[in-house]
A and B are shown apart, each in its own frame.
Chain A
Amino acid sequence: MRATRRSFLKTTAFAGTGLLLCLELPRLMADEPGVFEPNAYISITQDNVVRLWITRSEMGQGVHTTLAMMLAEELEVDWSQIQYEQAMPGGRFKGIRLRTSGSGSTVGTYNALRKAGATAREMLIAAAAEKWNVDAGSCRAQQGTVVHLATGRKLTFGELVAGAERQKVPDNPPLKAPKDFRVIGTPLERIDGRGIVTGQAVYGIDVRVPGMLYAVMARCPFIGGKVASFDATKALAVPGVRHILPVNSGLAIGVAVVADYTWAALKGRDTLKVQWDPGPNAGFDSDHFLSQMVDQLAKRQPGYFVRDDGDARTALDGAAKKIEATYEFPFQAHAPLETMNCVADVRKSSCEIWAPTQCPEVAQSETAKMLGMPEDSVKVHVTLVGGGFGRRLFADYVPEAVEVSRAIGKPVQMLWTRSDDMRCGFYHPSDVEHIVGGLDRDGRPIAWVQRSIGSNLSIFGFPTEKQQKNLRFYFNDGSPWGSFDNPYNFPNLKADFIPLNSPVPTGPWRAVEYPPTVFARESFLDEMAHAAGKDPLEFRLHLLEPGDVLKVGDAKIDRSRLIRVLQVAAEKSAWKHPLAHTEDRLWGRGVACNVYDEDCFIAQVAEVSVGRQSHDIRVHRIVCVSDCGIVVNPLGLEGQTESGITWGLSATLHGKIDFKSGAAVQENFQDFEVLRIDEAPAVETHIVVTDHPPGGFGETGVPPVAPSVANAIFAATGKRIRSLPITPGKLKAVG
């Protein structure tokens, strides 16, 4: 199967799993009498406990709450009656997707969970009707009970369990019309918040299994390097250290130190002597790599086809005004606050895993393969996840724990230190974007030519053999996002891609492929607007006329929805009333917008000030307007807006990973800085409510942040910064 953009987001698998259907509702064979389990997601006991299984990983995006809300809506259960359970791969969830990615949790479960809830509700109603010997149509489910409308008779779900089990499972239970929703669309606090604020919530790092030992690893810091030799003598003498062994099954190879407790393992690692063979990439330097990407621009070579509307080259040749610019995006780390970790307990013919993971199916299948066991013998517990952001779509930290547990015959927790996490993981690839734009005599935009150059920009491994044979094939894959699905109505638009691979392991980061392409696209639109003497927001609105639906590849983008969020952003940010400069600071506003996977429309206006002398940058306020169709939990969407903006600002103002001599330079939060509370702007979230199917929102807030801030800085200072992060030093250098 070809991995298209939509399939990545909606159904498919990643890193070695098979296709998993997300609409499947297998009937469970009730193994417990007295429990009504019409499908994998729901069980109701005779003592009226309603348990809902959550088929995604909770990593801050609120899925425990959102997914429960969708089930509860159709089930007509009282919200306070619910208990939630985390789904595990296999068993009752065989064939049901548990992977959490691409802002796809709400999108991917909306129909299945509502159907699951409705199925249970109809069977409970049928059971009550049977008991009362009345027509099912005269009964209603409400607040965890079924009521006979004519007589007011009422039975709790628990009282109906035995009867409901005997009912036929309806094929197509009626789903509620959105106007009748009571739970969906209501702002609800997190269902699992209490455990977090009392310290009782269990993350991967908190798992404690009887007899468990604690391990850390001396990890080879060189990309593609290996262990030349090691001397464990001193490390083995550290009190508490039990075992020292080489490990080869994860992403980073190295030497594990296993001890009675974490500190002993860390001390053992400090005294361990390891000689590294830096391997074939010892000369890799990310600054040099960036200049190599820029150098590609001078070469007249064909790129892989992304978009080709009209005749952009001819239009450019005839343009009255032609401008061009190059934008640079550095390597980025995920740096979730909970570092990678995994507990593995390998037994003779079974294995148990506890992991903070976005891909439990991969953890299960990889472990089974490694141990030569059937998948059913590998039990994977998904713990709370202390930040995912795409990093935990890789299960590389599972097999290394399995390898150690198998070798020592005991359960073990493998913990990555912060430095391990920052230096030995996967990274968002560094990328260069070059855009040429043409304006006619009246300042109307007539041509757009965008070239993306990057290292494995496509998360699918690019180019495939098939793509190498046919440049036009790339079109159908829809990458790079943001360039491919450029929503603007240019009569002549050409986009292509030149792969330049680096040895750095890359993978999805929050918003996947959008951040670099949207930074370039939305910055350059600003540059074109200024070149044309037009207002940047009006310029965008003009380019989205007539508000029609753009069909590109398998995506359909409703431009009228993007127009609407831009208009609301203009109104809410008082766009027409420019900010006044102050004595020591220059002030400005910038706008940027994006469409995330055709479902989510977003516009942001940033208010920024820059010190006249100090060049320090302060982002004071970001107005964010979004239309992502039906919003399941508005409180969650507001939180994800603030979160996405914070993430975007970290990358805009601070974060980047450099590689020197084949190894990552940054090691901890003192040299990989992220946004802290004293830099966090006021965020105003506005939701444009529409009745389109829900879009996901975990990542949508990120891409417009960097360009809206860069555009605001230009508005304030007249200085255009085209490489991230935007620092006072870069502003000063412009003069």
Chain B
Amino acid sequence: MSAFTLSVNGKRHVVDADSDMPLLWALRDFLRLTGTKYGCGMGVCGACTVHEDGEPVRSCQIPLSATAGKEYVTIEGLSAEGDHPCQTAWLVEDVSQCGYCQAGMIMQAAALILRNPSPTDTDIDAGLSDHICRCGTYQRMRRAIRRAASTVRKT
């Protein structure tokens, strides 16, 4: 057990835990940020996606020992008012069904449109193909990402 300083959503937290504990469980069980979800535990479903220094990463694959000096953003910190262009587009396009995978999807999509503000459906498919939505909201997700990207282009 050691103390780790985690920077999440602009705040610093000290977590006293094992160095091999994945960031996912620190977020969920210690910081009570439960918006980041457990899905597979091996980085193949994308439900636990957060931003590490702006890049989407699988928090179930990042041990606390690798978090030093990094800035993390979770779904709770993506926007102050829940109005990130992806969040807004997700509501307008009524994407969510069970909703469990959606935080991971939105975090991935937010990073995608920042890098590529004019994504084609092929770009969107390539960018999100490491994620799973068991409800199958893929068609609406494509629409929402195109909508969010167009919002970003206008601002």
Q: Which residues of A contact B (CB under 8 A)?
A: 58-62, 189-190, 193-194, 196-203, 205-206, 208, 214, 239-240, 261-264, 267, 335-339, 384-389, 415, 417-418, 635, 639, 642-647, 668-670, 674-678, 680, 682-683
Contact = CB atoms under 8 A, between A and B. Distances in A.
B51 to A, nearest CB: 13
A646 B136 CA distance: 5
Contacts of B140: 639, 642
B36 A337 contact: no
A248 B47 CA distance: 31
B66 to A, nearest CB: 15
B72 interface: no
Given A199-B75, A262-B28, A670-B44, A683 B21 contact: no
A675 B136 contact: yes
A197 B129 contact: no
Contact of A199 (B40, B76, B91, B129): B76
A346 to B, nearest CB: 21
26 contacts: A189-B92, A193-B91, A193-B96, A196-B96, A196-B102, A197-B82, A199-B75, A200-B35, A208-B32, A208-B34, A262-B29, A263-B21, A336-B98, A337-B100, A337-B133, A338-B39, A386-B98, A386-B100, A387-B100, A418-B41, A644-B136, A669-B44, A669-B132, A677-B133, A677-B138, A678-B129
Nearest to A196: B99
Main secondary structure of the interface of B (DSSP, over half): loop
Contacts of B141: 677
B57 interface: no
Contacts of A682: 139
A387 B98 contact: yes
Given A193-B91, A194-B82, A261-B30, A60 B99 contact: yes
Given A336-B134, A418-B40, 14 more contacts: A61-B97, A193-B91, A196-B96, A196-B103, A198-B75, A199-B75, A262-B29, A267-B18, A337-B47, A417-B41, A642-B140, A646-B138, A669-B39, A677-B129
Contact of B40 (A60, A214, A415, A668): A668
B135 interface: yes
Contacts of B74: 199
Contacts of A635: 94
A677 B98 contact: no
A203 B100 contact: yes
Interface in B102-125: 102-103, 106, 124-125
A675 B133 CA distance: 8
Q: Which of B21, B33, B41, B94 has the most CB of A within 10 A?
A: B94
B129 to A, nearest CB: 4
Nearest to A195: B99
Interface of B: 1, 17-18, 21-22, 25, 28-30, 32-42, 44-45, 47, 74-76, 82, 86-87, 90-92, 94, 96-103, 106, 124-126, 128-142
Nearest to B35: A199
Main secondary structure of the interface of A (DSSP, over half): loop
B128 A386 contact: no
B133 A197 contact: no
A337 B136 contact: no
A337 B91 CA distance: 21
B29 A198 contact: no
Nearest to B127: A677
Contacts of B36: 199
A263 B17 contact: yes
A336 B97 CA distance: 12
A264 B16 CA distance: 12
B43 to A, nearest CB: 10
A214 B124 contact: no
The 4 nearest A-B residue pairs measured at CB: A199-B35, A646-B136, A386-B100, A60-B98
A420 to B, nearest CB: 11
A335 B134 contact: yes
A261 B25 contact: yes
Given A338-B98, A639-B97, A387 B134 contact: yes
B25 A262 contact: yes
B100 A198 contact: no
A262 B131 CA distance: 23
Contacts of B124: 677
Contact of B37 (A62, A240, A338, A674): A338
Contacts of B87: 197-198
A190 B142 CA distance: 18
Q: Which of A415, A417, A643, A677 has the most CB of B within 10 A?
A: A677
A261 B17 contact: yes
A642 B35 contact: no
Contact of A678 (B99, B101, B102, B125): B125
B98 A339 contact: no
Contacts of A676: 128-132, 138
Contacts of A193: 90-91, 94, 96, 99
Nearest to B94: A189
Contacts of B75: 197-199
A59 B98 CA distance: 5
A236 to B, nearest CB: 16
Contacts of B18: 239-240, 263-264, 267
A205 B38 contact: yes
Contacts of A190: 94, 96
B99 A386 contact: yes
A262 B29 CA distance: 7
A338 B98 CA distance: 9
A384 B135 CA distance: 14
